[in-house]
Amino acid sequence: MDGLGRAVGDGISGLVGGAINGIGAALSGMVDALSRALPSGALPVIGIAVVLLLILAVIRR
């Protein structure tokens, strides 16, 4: 049974690891596309503005 448990654990960890890698690649692609579409230096400004707006929305609740 030890081999079966180890195989199941390895399979689950492989699935989770693959999903995390896929999510990271998708986010990286979105950030790259935004950085190409926006003028130089605008992406950090927009990112900070979004974070500040989210903080403000949470505080107002």
User: For 21-57, what is each residue's pLDDT tens digit?
Assistant: 999 999 999 989 988 888 888 888 988 999 999 999 9
| Domain positions in the chain | 2-60
The two tokens of residue 46 are: 């927009």
Number of H helices, E strands in the chain: 2, 0
Q: Which backbone phi and psi does 41 adopt, to 5 degrees?
A: 85, 0
CA distance 1 to 3: 5
pTM of the complete model beyond 0.85: no
Alpha-carbon span 36 to 13, nearest angstrom: 34
**How far is Cα 31 from Cα 60, in angstroms, rounded to an integer?**
29
